[in-house]
Amino acid sequence: MRSFLRIEADELNLPAIETADMPVEQAEFLGKARDAILKLPEKQRAVFILRYFRELPHAEIAEIMDRDVGTIKANYHQAIKKLREQLGSYVRGDND
């Protein structure tokens, strides 16, 4: 993977956890979600962020990362699976 694809915590489009008017449960979830995303393997994290937060199509991510579309879809699926495992009770539904 190209080095410019390194995505750090400050690039996640999650609201700031310190928001005073945010319910405690929501702030707790955002903190856990951010931690879970940062624990993903680098390629899965990059694919997840590009797909979920930047809303890029799989084909464009494949081009950026110089990978097959199938590989990108597999990385995204694995990232979602790991996030569901880590976030447990916070995640409901089966939508990717």
As for how many domains the chain has, the answer is 1
Evaluate whether 5 touches 46 at the Cβ level (below 8 Å). Answer: yes
Evaluate whether 51 touches 4 at the Cβ level (below 8 Å). Answer: no
Mind listing the pLDDT tens digit for each residue in 25-44?
777 888 889 899 999 999 99
Range of the domain at 92: 42-96
Could you tell me the CATH number of the domain that includes residue 81? 1.10.10.10
Mind listing the pLDDT tens digit for each residue in 56-91?
999 999 999 999 999 999 999 999 999 999 988 666
